[in-house]
């Protein structure tokens, strides 16, 4: 037994490997086909769902997580959990950015004069817009970076 030619580790049957590969190819065909149907925001959900199923198949069977010590799966889950936290919280920030003050909600360019290197304005401030926004947020200071705007 000691000099056996067969490993004492779990050997996954050939037909399971072939079935998993076939499933991966079928899912690839499905995800390509679905992408040509316009479903609005559902498209990305379906695409990620199919990618998730494909990834699970690779992890469980090709990478043997189905058959072995749980610590390897825990290690992977730690990575996935932190990745989800990372992306989710970044998206919270991106989605809410600009909503912290009345000025920020409007495009900054609308309220700003743009200057060239010598200090001459390239684009004049739009006074109508400026007055509106100043009224909305009267307690805020004037922008410090616009010394010449009155001389325009």
Partner 1 sequence: MSHSETYSSHPDHVLHHFSDSEQQFTSAKLGMWIFLLTEVLFFGGLFCAYAVYRYMHPEMFYNVHKLLDVNLGALNTVVLITSSLTMALSIRSMQLGNKKQTLILLFSTLLLAAVFLVVKYMEYSHKFHLGQLPGKWYTFDEAEGENPHLFFSVYFAMTGLHGIHVIAGIIAITWMIIRTFRNHFSANYYTPIEVTGLYWHLVDLVWIFLFPLLYLIG
**Binding residues for partner 1, per CB under 8 A?**
1-2, 4-9, 11-12, 14, 17-18, 20-21, 24-25, 28, 31-32, 34-35, 37-39, 42-44, 46-48, 50-51, 54-55, 58-59, 61-63, 68-69, 71-72, 75-76, 78-80, 82-83, 86-87, 90-91, 94-95
| Least distance to partner 1, CB of residue 141, Å | 29
Half-sphere exposure of 90 (CA within 13 A, CB side): 6
* Smallest separation, CB 54 to partner 1 (Å): 5
Joined together, the tokens standing for residue 131 give 């007055």
Nearer to partner 1, 40 or 128 (CB): 40
Radius of gyration of the chain (CA): 29
Q: From the CB of 72, what's the least distance to partner 1, in Å?
A: 4
Closest by CA to 75, choosing from 99, 59, 98, 62, is 59
* Runs of H (alpha helix) within the chain: 14-35, 42-57, 70-96, 102-105, 108-111, 127-136
């Amino acid at each position: 037994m000691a000099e056996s030619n067969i490993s004492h580790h779990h050997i996954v049957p050939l037909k399971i490997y072939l079935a998993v590969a076939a499933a991966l190819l079928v899912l690839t065909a499905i995800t390509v086909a679905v992408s040509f149907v316009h479903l609005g925001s559902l498209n990305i959900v379906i695409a990620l769902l199919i990618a998730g199923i494909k990834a699970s198949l690779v992890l469980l069977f090709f990478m043997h997580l189905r058959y072995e010590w749980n610590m390897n799966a825990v290690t992977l889950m730690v990575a996935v959990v932190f990745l989800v936290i990372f992306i989710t919280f970044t998206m919270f920030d991106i989605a809410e950015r600009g909503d912290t003050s009345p000025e920020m909600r409007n495009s900054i360019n609308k309220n700003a004069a743009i200057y060239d290197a010598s200090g001459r304005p390239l684009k004049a401030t739009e006074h109508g817009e400026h007055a509106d926004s100043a009224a909305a947020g009267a307690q805020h200071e004037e922008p410090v970076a616009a010394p010449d705007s009155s001389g325009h």
